[in-house]
Amino acid sequence: MFKTQYMYIQQLYTGCLSEAAYYIESEGEAAVIDPLRDIDDYLQIAHDRKTTIKYIFETHFHADFVSGHFDLAKVTGATIIYGPDTVTKFPVHIAKDGDLFKLGNISIQVLHTPGHTLESTCYLLKDENGKDHCVFTGDTLFVGDVGRPDLAQKAGSLTTNDLAGMLYDSLQKKIVRLADDVIVYPAHGAGSSCGKNLGPDTYSTIGDEKNYNYALKQQTKADFIKAVTDGLTEPPKYFALNAKINKEGYESLDDVLENGLKALSVNEFKQWIDKDAVILDTRVAEIFSEGFVPGSISIGLEGRFAEWAGSLLSFDTPIILVTEPGREKETIIRMARVGFDKIKGYLSGGFETWQKAGEEIDMLINVEPDELMMDIPFDDKLMIIDVRKPVEYAEGHLKDALNIPLNDMKDPANMANINEENNVYIHCAGGYRSIIASSLLKRQGIHNLRNVKGGWAKIKEQEKAEIVKEKSVLN
């Protein structure tokens, strides 16, 4: 939070999406930058501070979450502002490069910075004296990184390298020329898939980024293009859908909540199962493993819940929920943030209700890493599945372990070589992803499996662990 006599700036950071929205205020007028779909926080701040939200600035069409611009504009009457080259299916104000918007005693200048996407735009805040104070960089510039240039290739015939070249020009002409003390407020922090390797801080300065950001230290455009495109992994599969939703509009969150917050009896829940609804269990992974409704997919709220839901679940299939009682609304909101709107209700009373009704349950077997070590030399049917990302696997894995990244397990074909004859051991880095993977395998009829508690963090500490590195990948 930053506060002076003439202005107030608050960053609203959402950890599970690594997303930063911003509330800016001066003399009773406010603006919100890159709001999430659930808009209550912005409305509450404006109410508490007795201000009017005048503008909603969008830095670009976000791919990793559904923006709140649509609903926030309906409620407040605020103008939605995008930068040049924006095309939408609903009314917005498309600003020109250099346009200035007054907000009380301060002003916000439009800096068109194409590269991450064509319409990507930064917003430079000038204080009451006209001095550059901070810049809201969206996905153009992060702490320690820049936005990936491979998410907008469907725009004409542009390639990733074309967009990377545009990003280089945008940074050099619009951003690095700002004074070193100008504060950088990006749209994302560490963990976001919108960049390659974002730093742990959620804000910085132009000076620090020029000194420490690998992308800004490249000497030539060619060097920059190579640096930012090397090692790009495939973006999450839901990114294209979220960008489309943000461009075209979406159903009100209130409607999504009304449909999703339906308490279902055991019989009503079973009726949805018969209709092939997906059962999503959002309880803590360890609790899920002790007992769950057969066929459930585990994605615990304690991890990067929305991102994994978006990557692994179908947006077109009805979803029914099993949650910790009292967390139903939180679950639906967090799913709506990435575009889910076909949630049909939740099991009233949670899993305990299912148990008390005498219904069939399933469970996972959790084992310690030392048990795996003891079984490896003597079990010729043993199969170790490592569900970490390829780069994690390359940095060190058990000999003969099969790498099936969790992202790839949405497609049953990637699990075709696993069958009930195998004694399957599954692990990730710490245990969260392996529980998700185990639930997906169970849905495919693979029940002879064990989840390795503590994941790779504990496995690599075992004296008998035979560890291999993939040098070709690391180089």
Burial of 215 per CB tally in 10 Å (0-12, 13-18, 19+): buried
Res. 473: pLDDT tops 60: no
On whether both 375 and 306 belong to a single domain, the answer is no
Query: pLDDT per residue over 330-349, tens digit each?
Result: 999 999 999 999 999 999 99
Helix-strand-coil split of the chain, %, nearest 5? 30, 25, 45
Please, are residues 55 and 99 in contact by the beta-carbon 8 Å criterion? no
User: What per-residue confidence (pLDDT) applies to 412?
Assistant: 84
On whether both 27 and 50 belong to a single domain, the answer is yes
Tell me how far apart the alpha carbons of residues 189 and 166 are, in angstroms, rounded to a whole number.
23
The pair phi, psi for residue 56, each rounded to 5°, is: -125, 110
- Give the end of a domain, one of 302, 325, 356: 356
Bridge partners of 26?
A: 29
The pair of three-digit structure tokens given for residue 190, joined into one six-digit string = 């560490």
Lowest mean pLDDT among 166-170, 193-197, 278-282: 193-197
On whether both 234 and 370 belong to a single domain, the answer is no
3-state class (DSSP) for residue 317: coil
**Sheet arrangement for strand 204-205:** 100-103, 106-112, 121-126, 132-138, 183-186, 204-205
Q: Which residue has the tokens 């204080």?
A: 127
Query: pLDDT per residue over 219-240, tens digit each?
Result: 899 999 999 999 888 888 899 9
- Give the end of a domain, one of 203, 222, 241: 241
How many CB atoms lie under 10 A from the CB of residue 363?
12
The pair of three-digit structure tokens given for residue 434, joined into one six-digit string = 């392996």
Task: Identify the band that residue 154 occupies on the pLDDT scale cut at 50, 70 and 90.
Answer: low
Would you say residue 281 lies in a domain?
yes
The CATH number that applies at residue 319 is 3.40.250.10
On whether both 47 and 170 belong to a single domain, the answer is yes
Please, are residues 39 and 97 in contact by the beta-carbon 8 Å criterion? no
Would you say residue 246 lies in a domain?
no
User: What per-residue confidence (pLDDT) applies to 423?
Assistant: 92
Q: Determine the structural domain holding residue 342 and report its residue range.
A: 251-356
Q: Where are the alpha helices (DSSP H) in 146-216?
A: 160-170, 206-212
On whether both 209 and 267 belong to a single domain, the answer is no
The pair phi, psi for residue 19, each rounded to 5°, is: -115, 140
On whether both 177 and 299 belong to a single domain, the answer is no
- Report the half-sphere exposure of 248 (CA within 13 A, side-chain side): 9
On whether both 83 and 174 belong to a single domain, the answer is yes
User: What per-residue confidence (pLDDT) applies to 151?
Assistant: 82
Cβ within 8 Å of residue 331, ≥6 positions away:
282, 301, 321, 323, 346
On whether both 135 and 107 belong to a single domain, the answer is yes
Tell me how far apart the alpha carbons of residues 328 and 301 are, in angstroms, rounded to a whole number.
11
On whether both 235 and 278 belong to a single domain, the answer is no
Res. 475: pLDDT tops 60: no
The pair of three-digit structure tokens given for residue 103, joined into one six-digit string = 């907000």
User: What per-residue confidence (pLDDT) applies to 235?
Assistant: 85
Q: Which residue has the tokens 């930068």?
A: 83
Q: Hey, what amino acid is at 265? A: S
Tell me how far apart the alpha carbons of residues 65 and 219 are, in angstroms, rounded to a whole number.
34
Tell me how far apart the alpha carbons of residues 63 and 66 are, in angstroms, rounded to a whole number.
8
- Give the end of a domain, one of 241, 263, 294: 241
| Radius of gyration of the CA atoms of the chain, in A | 24
Tell me how far apart the alpha carbons of residues 120 and 104 are, in angstroms, rounded to a whole number.
25
Average pLDDT over residues 289-318: 95
What is the domain count for the chain?
3
3-state class (DSSP) for residue 103: strand
Tell me how far apart the alpha carbons of residues 120 and 115 are, in angstroms, rounded to a whole number.
7
Biggest CA–CA distance in the chain, Å, is 75
pTM beyond 0.85, yes or no: yes
The CATH number that applies at residue 127 is 3.60.15.10
Average pLDDT over residues 291-301: 97
Average pLDDT over residues 57-67: 96
Tell me how far apart the alpha carbons of residues 342 and 439 are, in angstroms, rounded to a whole number.
21
Would you say residue 408 lies in a domain?
yes
